A and B are shown apart, each in its own frame.
Chain A
């Protein structure tokens, strides 16, 4: 059995490196399309300022992109290095979208990003625009495939356990690709990326406007960001709701914990707007509830019930009992693989195999599990309520903050009065970090809410790691933290340096402090 500390450290390392990776991904997703939009305007109007916009925001995009690539390498390695049993157990399914991501998306994005930066003088206008679109399409396709892989962890359909190879194997590639969780998750996630990119361009442009420099440049950038951001913020919220619907269908435990639904309510359930969940007494204090809304979001109906934690625990307890039979039948079958009677016995209960494996955290031979152990396994099977409850509400709250920012920005941009609204511009500057925080909170809800599983209902987290020592993990974790801190400092330094320099960093001679008259005025 793997030490508890190895499991915790592996999780911590994965969480740290994944969160860190996702500091850079959303900006890449969002800015690649913003660049394509700016360049489209350039090609259509022939106004050079739009070319300069594409180049300048492209510079900032590049600084961010480099770290996105760097930290993405870690993600590609880490399943093998730290989650070896997981890699064996589900590689047959999970590996496919990752490999396809490389062939279909990452090659496209990476090959053309070089031409985006260096091909300006070598390509025709339309040729370069095509390259920019290919970068944007590549980065978004990449997100599709990664989210297909992730969605399968949340909702593992189209696969079955094979006792000969001792792993999950793919039954249907189409089920994997068209997993409903993947679709809502994809649109939700890329929209979040577009929001992040828009908030970044909006905020930096607002800063130039507040300083009264590069006004033409910043004004145009602000408008594009406000329009794209508004559409994206709406999409992120609508698709967040869609994700909630799929969570209710496929990940009942996550939803119950997120919403602190201790008991099953008669349909349609109410939505808890605010409250203080109390795990010990299984109640939510100071609860403010809107009747019916949760039921409508979760079931798209007024009569379907969303199970609460009490009911889910009963179901899980039954599945754990069944799972013990599955584990024992599998052990017998592994010793006598040709025995058809054992195979039939195993097949009858194999859907609950994962629930039997939950007990392996406490006892090697699951048939010896005591009622206390089973009770603990049931308890484990519901993720901790408070962190999910709060993270989810913080994410939604933030999304409302930036939705209002984009609505107002768009409104005043349409009326062309935004440059006089100092409060709006300041809000845009200080609002830059908000989408990042919301993105990370969203991932936290999705992944922490999947616990105690790596593959929901199939493979428990505590069985998924590699057989490493805690010492090795301390070493690698400290190494990652040290490297990542250094890289982040270098990144932020350059990001601030170039954002402050502004379009003058292009050296065209027509921007802030480059132009003699403006320099005198400044």
Chain B
């Protein structure tokens, strides 16, 4: 059996990988969904946009579902505390997501323009709201969330819903939304031509610039923000209750990892470099390259957030001792071990057949294609 401490670290990495998979795959079709009503001026154009992700969004959405399932299995306390604590935010995400499967599949099955327009905006909401709320949730996690556990480990959230929308959290929401939209715009530029492609490239530039600005401001704000530090002795290899440790708030604590391990600075740098190179690639009309660049930016940005608060995953602002860390929010050694092997075997297989699916459906989606397949296309 793999060492418990190593497994805990592996699962921190795996949750990160699943979130990154979500951002790269589901992220690009959420970006496309957000752009849909703006970039598509006519019904045919909108159908081109929808069909650029049509055969794939369903599979991509599973990155999201699987990330949720993996957090349940590997970090049950995080799943319990975060999902129940962010109750209304979760409902907003969920209810917005309802519009995606239904919107994609039902929209073009009725010709009435009011019906189609309704679902187009539904798909917009189903794409933009989750992208925004995930960022807002991350923003709150970084600042610490007012929650605690009772003696029997029942999580209690003591904040209000509206308190979630504080300036830093909103900024994180903007970073996450613009990051996914920029990435989606690059994807759209690959799969379309003519005017839609032009508009997609323009959107890519605008949203990449906003993402870079937001990420930079966020960095400045974090430098000055109270972070959290464990003050008791940690035994990473032991099974433990989160309540067994002591934690204090300390200004600038979220930069300590970068001081201790300067190599981790590569992550925020990747966030910036990825964004800047995407701008350059779009200028050179190298849309595929730009898509890779925004994927790299996503890697940099997501892992920057993770590394900044490491080993915390859900710090508590109201009772810091209830904070969840990578050492004490986890499942048992056996469960982590089994799930590690399942993930290790299945993830490459998933990547292979997903790539094959994209290969089968490769090429530009055009207005002519839509008109020739009026009844079968989205």
Contacts and interface: CB of A to CB of B under 8 A. Distances in A.
Interface of A: 55, 62-63, 65-67, 69-70, 72-74, 76-77, 79-82, 84-85, 87-89, 91-96, 98-104, 106-108, 110-115, 117-120, 122-123, 162, 164-167, 169-171, 173, 334, 466-468, 472, 475-476, 479, 483, 487, 490-491, 494, 497-498, 505-507
Contact of B240 (A87, A102, A164): A164
Given A87-B76, A170-B332, A170-B334, A80 B70 contact: no
Contact of A81 (B55, B61, B66, B90): B90
B231 interface: no
Contact of A95 (B83, B331, B334, B375): B331
B338 interface: yes
B98 A487 contact: yes
A498 B162 CA distance: 44
Given A87-B76, A117-B376, A476-B87, A76 B241 contact: no
Contacts of A85: 80, 153-155
B110 interface: yes
Contact of B375 (A94, A104, A123, A507): A507
A482 B100 CA distance: 17
B368 interface: no
26 contacts: A77-B90, A80-B68, A80-B84, A81-B84, A82-B84, A84-B84, A85-B153, A88-B76, A89-B153, A91-B72, A92-B331, A95-B72, A98-B72, A99-B69, A99-B74, A100-B69, A107-B350, A110-B61, A112-B59, A113-B59, A114-B56, A119-B360, A165-B240, A467-B155, A487-B98, A494-B110
Contacts, number: 247
A436 to B, nearest CB: 20
Contact of B102 (A74, A475, A487): A487
A201 B338 CA distance: 41
Q: Is the interface of A mostly helix, strand, loop or mixed?
A: helix
B156 to A, nearest CB: 5
Contacts of A479: 91, 95
Contacts of B81: 84
Nearest to A123: B360
Nearest to A506: B375
B338 A173 contact: yes
Among B66, B97, B342, B374, find the residue whose CB has the most chain A CB atoms closer than 10 A. B66
Nearest to B55: A114
B77 interface: yes
Interface string B76-120: 110111111001101100110110111011100110000000000
A391 to B, nearest CB: 29
B334 A115 contact: no
B165 interface: no
Contacts of A81: 83-84, 87, 90-91
B68 A170 contact: no
B42 interface: no
A169 B353 contact: no
B80 A80 contact: yes
Contacts of B76: 87-88, 91-92, 95, 167
A87 B105 contact: no
B52 to A, nearest CB: 11
- In the A-B complex, the 3 residue pairs with the closest CB atoms: A91-B76, A80-B83, A95-B73
A487 B102 CA distance: 8
A457 B279 CA distance: 60
B372 to A, nearest CB: 10
Contacts of A112: 59, 353, 357
B221 interface: no
Contacts of B154: 84-85, 88, 467
Given A82-B84, A166-B241, A88 B62 contact: no
B74 A95 contact: yes
Contact of A67 (B102, B151, B346): B102
Given A106-B62, A110-B61, A479-B91, A76 B69 contact: yes
B326 to A, nearest CB: 15
Nearest to A86: B80
A359 to B, nearest CB: 14
B62 A95 contact: no
Contacts of A110: 58-59, 61-62
A80 B72 contact: yes
A165 B157 contact: no
Contacts of B102: 66-67, 70, 487, 490-491
A196 B65 CA distance: 26
A118 B51 CA distance: 9
B130 to A, nearest CB: 11
A107 B239 CA distance: 32
A72 B102 CA distance: 13
Interface string B332-344: 1011001100110
Given A91-B79, A102-B65, A467-B84, A96 B338 contact: yes
A63 B72 CA distance: 30
Contacts of A113: 58-59
B361 interface: yes
Among A72, A77, A173, find the residue whose CB has the most chain B CB atoms closer than 10 A. A77
Given A80-B80, A119-B360, 8 more contacts: A67-B101, A91-B72, A96-B339, A106-B62, A114-B56, A119-B55, A467-B154, A494-B110
A169 B332 contact: yes
A192 to B, nearest CB: 23
B332 A80 contact: no
Contacts of A487: 98, 102
B354 interface: yes
A455 B87 CA distance: 24
Given A87-B79, A91-B72, A100-B342, A62 B105 contact: yes
B128 to A, nearest CB: 17
Contacts of A467: 84, 154-157
Contacts of A506: 375-376
A393 B104 CA distance: 41
B106 to A, nearest CB: 6
A82 B80 CA distance: 9
B232 interface: no
Contacts of B346: 103-104, 107
Contact of B98 (A73, A93, A94, A117): A73
Contacts of B350: 103, 107, 111
